[in-house]
Amino acid sequence: MRTERKYYVLTFMTIVLTVFLLGTCVREPFRMRAEEVRGREAYVLKGARIYAEQCVQCHGPRGEGSVGMPLNRAELKVDYTTAGGKAIYDKIYMAVDQGRPGSVDHPLWAKAPDGKWISYTAMAGWGRAAGGPLDEEALKAVTLFVMKPQGDQWSLIGDIDLAPIPGADYTVDESGKLPLPDAQGVDPAINERAKELLRHRTHTQCLNCHLVGARGAKVGPDLTLFGRWGVDQAFVERFIKYANQPLPNEADRYVLPHAERMPAYWSANRAVIGPALNLEKPVVSEGPYYMLRFREKFTQEEVSALATYLLGLK
Ligand code: HEC
Ligand code: HEC
């Protein structure tokens, strides 16, 4: 009798233990998933901060592209743990880590008829091996930021608390002038002339949108190392005169119309602007995010001095 009860108790305890263990086994993957999701969100937020500081000026606050191609493309929004996602992860990671050479196929960035994105301008590598500021964790963060499958990460960019875009700085030195770097291999007279033009912010306006050295704003791209972008004098002079306005010649046949390329930054309702942009109802642009065309405003001497100076910044 007593041995039988012992058996009952033992069996009962075994069942309880089995159920408990089974329960943990079943729960464990869920718990890991929750941790994985939290981890990924932390990476996305870290990536957003880096993007707002380093990438926003060339790829746009909504990833819609400006100097570099759009990064809010549907084909990049893939779960990185899937087989297809791994390949996209590697592609983005490597592009950011090592940089990209640009392409002489076209004078601007454009979507070619075969669907390939090409860009005249090169992108320098951001990884440590390429002399950039980003370590492996930072590269992973910014890659997972770009790839977020839901596509809602772009609303973080410019959020004052989460991922602010650095503000403008016009602090002068002891002599009362905006300190600007010297261009290399450039006639000292051109250097001085270009700096004088840049400091004249109501005339040239460049520093209202661009950072040169530690001064200026981050509305357009940071031009501090512009000499490394792989572009030439003719390109820069043309760009200062016409910005990225498509030229009416054969070589520009597949440049998207300006309105489609850079639709509306910081739109009134901060709508997420993606490939499915509704051009019937264009959102009102709040920010001065288009590069202005200075053709009518500057003399050729001014354009040439600015272009020569910028290309000497290395
Ligand atoms: C100075 C402008 C500039 C900045 C700043 C910049 N990029 Fe780029 N990026 C480019 C250009 C230009 C290209 C295209 C180059 C080419 O066609 O070879 C590019 C290409 C890329 C690509 C490849 C996209 C594709 O479809 O293959 C990725 C990814 C990318 N950039 C991410 C970033 C990230 C992340 C940052 C910030 C850490 C960043 N970029 C900062 C200009 C820039
Ligand atoms: C209202 C803001 C604004 C002003 C003012 C402005 N820019 Fe820009 N700039 C931009 C933006 C935005 C881009 C991004 C490229 C684009 O428009 O496609 C850009 C791009 C550039 C580029 C890079 C072109 C490339 O793709 O390699 C150069 C060079 C440049 N600007 C020079 C100048 C100079 C010089 C001035 C002053 C004469 C100036 N910018 C004034 C906003 C501005």
Residue 50's nearest CA partner among 135, 171, 177 is: 135
The predicted pLDDT at position 97 comes to 97
- What is the C-alpha separation between 29 and 225, in angstroms, rounded? 48
The predicted pLDDT at position 64 comes to 72
Mean pLDDT per 10-residue segment, the chain (314 residues): 67 70 62 80 97 86 76 89 95 96 66 64 90 96 96 88 88 95 96 97 88 87 87 84 60 43 32 36 37 77 97 95
- What is the C-alpha separation between 285 and 76, in angstroms, rounded? 26
Is the Cβ–Cβ distance between 292 and 239 less than 8 Å? no
- What is the C-alpha separation between 160 and 164, in angstroms, rounded? 5
Which residue's alpha carbon is at the smallest distance from atom 39 of ligand 1? 55
Residue 237's nearest CA partner among 314, 313, 309, 306 is: 306
Say how many C-beta atoms besides its own lie within 10 A of residue 304's C-beta: 18
Burial class (CB in 10 A: 0-12, 13-18, 19+), 302: middle
Atom number in ligand 2 closest to CA 236: 29
Q: Which amino acid is at 266?
A: W
Atom number in ligand 2 closest to CA 289: 12
Which residue's alpha carbon is at the smallest distance from atom 32 of ligand 2? 240
The predicted pLDDT at position 159 comes to 86
Q: Is the CB of 221 under 6 A from ligand 2?
A: yes
Q: Is the CB of 96 under 6 A from ligand 1?
A: yes
